[in-house]
Chain A
Amino acid sequence: MGLLSRKATCNTHGQDSSYFLGWQEYEKNPYNEVNNPNGIIQMGLAENQLCLDLLEPWLMKNPDALGLKRDGISIFKELALFQDYNGFPAFKRALVDFMGEIRGNKVSFDPNHVVLTAGATSANETLMFCLADQGDAFLLPTPYYPGFDRDLRWRTGVEIVPIHCTSSNGFKVTLPAIEQAYRQAQKRKLRVKGVLITNPSNPLGTTMARDELDLLINFIEDKQIHLISDEIYSGTVFTSPSFVSVMEVLKDRDLDQTQVWERVHIVYSLSKDLGLPGFRVGAIYSNDPVVVSAATKMSSFGLVSSQTQYLLSAMLLDKKFTKEYMSENHKRLQKQQKDLVAGLEKAGIRCLDSNAGLFCWVDMRHLLKSNTFEAEMELWQKIVYHVKINISPGSSCHCIEPGWFRVCFANMSESTLKLAIQRLKSFVSSIGMKSQNHQELKSLRRKSRNNWVFRLSLQSFYDREQDATTKVSFSYRPHFMSLSNIAATLDAAA
C-alpha cells in the first residue's frame, strides 16, 4: 500500500530526461566569464535575454507600473485584493492587441476569449483537462518540446502519440505521417481528442507553412477533433517567411463561425517573446465559450499575480514601445542566430534552415559513431562533460533520427556565444576524421554525398600542397570538414 499517489511515484514528470539532466550538470558547474570561465555554457535553455536592457529605460520612465500606482496614486490595495479569475480587463485588452500586432493585424482577438494562466505550462495542462479524459490521446508532431511529456500527460492521464517528421523534408508535417499516428493511436485503443502543434516550432525554429496548416485543419475537420496551436514563439520570427497563425488560415478559408473554428485553440505566453519567464504569464485563447468558461474556472489553480498583470498591462498598452521592442528583438535574434549558424558551419556542422525561435536544430549526425541513439547519448555526454556545453539531444525531443541537437543562442552574450562556438570547433577538430570514416560506412541516404566529399577532399589535399592558404567552403554540404581535417583523415586512412 503506497503512502503517496501513483503520480508522485512515477516518472511521468519527465525529469529523468537528458533534457533536464543537462540542466542539472550545468547548475553544478555554470559558466561565468569572470568567476568560472571553464564552466558549462548553458545552451539548453530557451530563454530570450537579448532585449531586457530595453525594458529598464521604459520602467524608469513609467514608475507607476512597478510602483503599483495610477496617476501617481497608490492602487496597491485594489491590486492586492484583485483575485478575479476573469483577469484584469486592461491587461487582457493589451494582451490581445499585442497578439494581433505580432500577427501583422491579419487577425484580431477578443479579450473575452482569453483565459490567463500561470505560464504556458499551466495553459497546456489546463487545455488537456478541458478537452480530454484520462486515457485519451493527443497527436504531436516530433520533434517536440520535452516539457510536453509532463505538461500534457502527468496529472491529466492523457497520452501523447507522435506524428513522426523527418529530415527528408525538413521535418514538415505530412498527411501520411498524421494518418499513421492516428492509426497507431487506434491500435493502442486510445481515443484521439486532438492534435497539438507548436508554431513556430520548438525545437526546429521554423514556422509552419500554409499548406501544413491547411492539412491540419482538414484533418481535424474530418475527424471532428481539436487543434491546439502553441504559439509562444510567435514574436520571435526574425526573418521570412513571416508568421502565419492557424487563426489566419481559418479566417482566409472563411471557416470562422463554423464548427471547426470552435475547435481551434491557441496557447500563448510572454516568457519567450518578451523574455519574462519569471512572471508566469500564460494564456489560452479559444473561440468556444464552453472551453473559455471551463478553463477560466480551472485557472483558479494558477492565476497570474495581479501585481504582474498591472505592470504588463501598462507595458503592453504602450504600443510605440512594444513595436520598437519587437523590432529590435528580431534584429538581435537574427544576428545571434546568424553568428551561431556561421560559426557551426566553420566547424563542419550544419543547422536546419530556421527563421524563428531562440535555438537552432543542429545536425551532428556525422559526428556519431553509429546511427543510433546510444551513439547520440555518447556524443551528448562528451559535449556536456568535456566540451562543457549543455545542449539538448534530439531523443529528448522524441526525434526519430539520432544525431540532431537543439542549441539555444538567445540566452547569452555575443562573447559567450563565440566561446561556445570555439569550444565546439576544437571538439570537432579532435574527432573530425574518425567521424568521417564512420559516416562513409553507414547511412544509405548519405552515400552519394559521402563520395562527393571524399573526392573533393582528395582534390583539396592536392590543392593544399600547392596553395596552403586556399580555403574552399562547402556551405550546403552536410559534412563540411576543414582542410586540415580532411588531410588528417586521409593520412589515417592510408
Chain B
Amino acid sequence: MVAMSKIATGNGHGENSPYFDGWKAYETNPFHPTERPEGVIQMGLAENQLCFSLIKNWLIKHPEASLCTPQGVNKFKETALFQDYHGMPEFRQAVAKFMGKVRGDRVKFDPDRIVMSGGATGAHEMVAFCLADPGEAFLVPTPYYPGFDRDLKWRTGVELVPVNCESCNNFKITTNALEAAYVKVQEANLRVKGLLITNPSNPLGTVLDRDTLKSMVRFINDKNIHLIGDEIYAATVFMEPEFVSISEIIEEEDVECNRDLIHIVYSLSKDMGFPGFRVGIVYSYNDSVVSCARKMSSFGLVSSQTQHLIASMLSDDEFVDNFITESKELLFNRHKYFTWSLSQVGIGFLKGNAGLFIWMDLRKLLKEETFAAEMELWRVITNEVKLNVSPGSSFHCQEPGWFRVCFANMDDYTMKVALLRIRTFMLKNNEAMVPLKLCRPSSLKLSLSRSLSRRMDDFMSPGIMSPRSPLPQSPLVQART
C-alpha cells in the first residue's frame, strides 16, 4: 500500500531545479565579510533590503503599530481574536490605497475586492484553484519565475504552457507568440483557461509597454480566457518608462474587455521588503472569484498582528509617499552602479528599469550554444567565482546563456566584493574585455540629488557609492594599490 500521495512523492515542488540548487550551495557556505570572506554570495534571491532604516525610524515613532503601548495592548485581545477571512477593514483600505499610490494614483482600488493569501505564493495557487480544473492550462511568457511551476501546478493539477519570447526583440511578448502557444495547447487537446503575466517582469527587470498590454487584453478578451497580472514588483520601477498596470489599461476608452476575466496578484514582499510577514493579495474584478478566493483564503490568512502593523504603516500617507520615492532612488543607484560595473568588464545585460535583479547576457562565455554549456558555466560561477546567480534555463528561457543576478539583497560592501569577483573572473577569461576607466579617488564622493528625472550622463562617473556605505573607499580602488 502506497503510504503517501502522488503529489507528495512527486517532483512537483520544483525544488530540484538549479534555481534552488544554487541556494543550497549558498546555505552550506554563506558569505560573511569577516567570518567567511570566501563564502558564496547570494545573488539568486530577489529581496529588497535597501529601505529598512526608513521603516525602522517609522516604527520607533509609532509603537502603537506593534501594539506596544498601553493603549495598543488593549487592542491586543481584539487583534488576537480577529480571524474573519474578510480581513481587517483598515488593512484592506490601507493596502488598496498603497496599490493606488504605487500606480501614481491613476487608478483606485476597491478595498472590498482585496482578498488575503499566504504571500504571493499562496495567491497564485489560490487563483489557479479558482479559475482552472486539473488538466487545464495557463499560458506564461518565458522567461518566468521558477516558483510558478510549484505555485500554479503542484497541488492544483493545472498545466503551464510557455509563450516563447526571444532576445532578438528584447523578449517582447508578441501577439504571434501568444496565438502560436494557444494553438499548440488546443492541438494537444488541452483547454486554455488564462494568461499569466508578470509586470514588471521577473527575471527581465522590465515593464510592459501600453501597446503590448492592450494587445494582451484584446487577446484574452477574444479568446474569453482570464488574464492574471502578477504585479508584485510594481513599486520597484526606478526609472522610465513608467509602470502601466492592467488596472489602468482596462479603464482606457479604446479597450473593450470583460472585467470578469481580470485579476491581479500582489504582495508586500518585494515592494516593501517584508517577505517574512506573508502578505499576499488577490485582487479580482470578478465577484465570483472574490467570493470563492475569500473562502479559500482560510488556508492562508494574514496574521492579524501583521494586518494591524501594515494597516498602521500604510495609512500614514506621508510615510508611504516618502518610502516610494526613497525606495526608487536607492534601487536606481544600486542598479546604475551594478550595470556600469558589469559593462566595464564586458558583460552585457538587458536594459531594465525595474525589479531587484538584472538579466545578464553571458552567451559569449558559453563553450557552445547549449543548455549543457549553460549549466557548466553556472557551476563554475557557483563553485569557483562563489556567486549564486540563477541560470536562464531555470526560468524556462529558450536561449542558453542568460542569467538573473540580484542586486538589492545585500549591503554595499558585499556588492563590491561580488563585483570584484566578477571582474576577476572576466579578466581571467579574457574575453571581449573593455578597457577599464581609471578610478579616481576624488570621484568616489558623490552627492545624490533627489530627483529621478536627471539624465544618465550624471551617473557615468565611476565609483558611485551610496552614502550608506561603511567604507570610505571602494575596494576596487584598494585592489589596485
Contacts and interface: CB of A to CB of B under 8 A. Distances in A.
A275 B80 contact: yes
A4 B136 CA distance: 11
B298 interface: yes
Contact of A297 (B15, B118, B296): B15
B83 A130 contact: no
Given A47-B81, A79-B276, A130-B5, A121 B292 contact: no
A301 B70 contact: no
Interface stretch (B122-130, B204-212, B430-438): B122-130
Interface string A114-130: 00001101100100011
A418 to B, nearest CB: 22
A99 to B, nearest CB: 20
B130 A278 contact: no
A291 to B, nearest CB: 7
Interface string A36-50: 000000000001010
Contact of B132 (A5, A56, A277, A303): A5
A126 B180 CA distance: 37
Contacts of B74: 56
B155 A298 contact: yes
A417 to B, nearest CB: 17
Interface stretch (B55-63, B329-337, B364-372, B413-421): B55-63
A279 interface: yes
Given A74-B56, A155-B296, A133 B80 contact: no
Interface string A211-248: 00000000000001110000000000000000000000
A295 to B, nearest CB: 8
Contacts of B13: 294, 297-298
Contacts of B309: 307
A184 to B, nearest CB: 19
Contacts of A297: 13, 15, 150
A255 interface: no
Contacts of B360: none
A278 B289 contact: no
B3 interface: yes
A34 interface: no
A5 B302 CA distance: 24
Contacts of B278: 83, 118, 302-306
B282 interface: no
Contacts of A278: 79-83, 303-305
Contacts of A441: none
B301 A119 contact: yes
A294 B155 CA distance: 12
Contacts of B133: 5-7
Given A7-B129, A81-B47, A130 B7 contact: yes
B77 A56 contact: yes
Contacts of A82: 276
A155 B136 CA distance: 15
A225 to B, nearest CB: 7
A275 B288 contact: no
B237 to A, nearest CB: 21
B93 interface: no
B7 A60 contact: no
B90 interface: no
A355 B4 CA distance: 35
B49 interface: yes
Interface string A76-116: 11011111000000000000000000000000000000000
A68 interface: yes
B193 to A, nearest CB: 8
B9 interface: yes
A341 to B, nearest CB: 25
Among A67, A122, A301, find the residue whose CB has the most chain B CB atoms closer than 10 A: A301
A74 B118 contact: no
B77 A301 contact: no
Interface in B111-142: 118-119, 121-122, 125, 129-134, 136
A81 B5 contact: no
Contact of A66 (B6, B8, B67, B275): B67
Contact of A15 (B274, B295, B303): B295
A16 to B, nearest CB: 11
Interface residues of B, number: 75
B306 interface: yes
A193 to B, nearest CB: 8
A59 interface: yes
B300 A301 contact: yes
Given A47-B81, A129-B7, A277-B81, A301 B299 contact: yes
Contact of B274 (A67, A80, A154, A155): A80
B68 interface: yes
Nearest to A298: B155
Contacts of B73: 56, 59-60, 66
B260 interface: yes
A133 B56 contact: no
A175 to B, nearest CB: 21
A300 B121 contact: yes
A279 B300 contact: no
Given A80-B273, A278-B79, A130 B66 contact: no
Interface string B338-352: 000000000000000
Contacts of A59: 67, 73, 76
Contact of A307 (B4, B81, B301, B303): B303
A276 interface: yes
Nearest to A296: B13
Interface string B13-51: 101000000000000000000000000000000010100
A263 B3 contact: yes
Nearest to B53: A77
B109 interface: no
Interface string A270-283: 01000111111000
B66 A67 contact: yes
Among B80, B125, B289, find the residue whose CB has the most chain A CB atoms closer than 10 A: B80
Contacts of A311: 305
A132 interface: yes
A77 B56 contact: yes
B319 interface: no
A76 B56 contact: yes
Nearest to B123: A301
Given A278-B79, A302-B118, A131 B4 contact: yes
Given A7-B129, A49-B81, A302-B300, A131 B122 contact: no
A484 interface: no
A431 interface: no
A76 B68 CA distance: 14
A207 B96 CA distance: 46
4 residue pairs, one from A and one from B, having the closest CB atoms: A278-B304, A306-B276, A302-B300, A294-B8
18 contacts: A3-B261, A5-B131, A8-B292, A13-B296, A59-B73, A60-B73, A67-B66, A67-B68, A74-B60, A80-B277, A81-B273, A82-B276, A122-B118, A150-B298, A278-B80, A300-B121, A302-B122, A307-B309
Given A131-B3, A301-B151, 4 more contacts: A4-B288, A5-B130, A56-B76, A118-B299
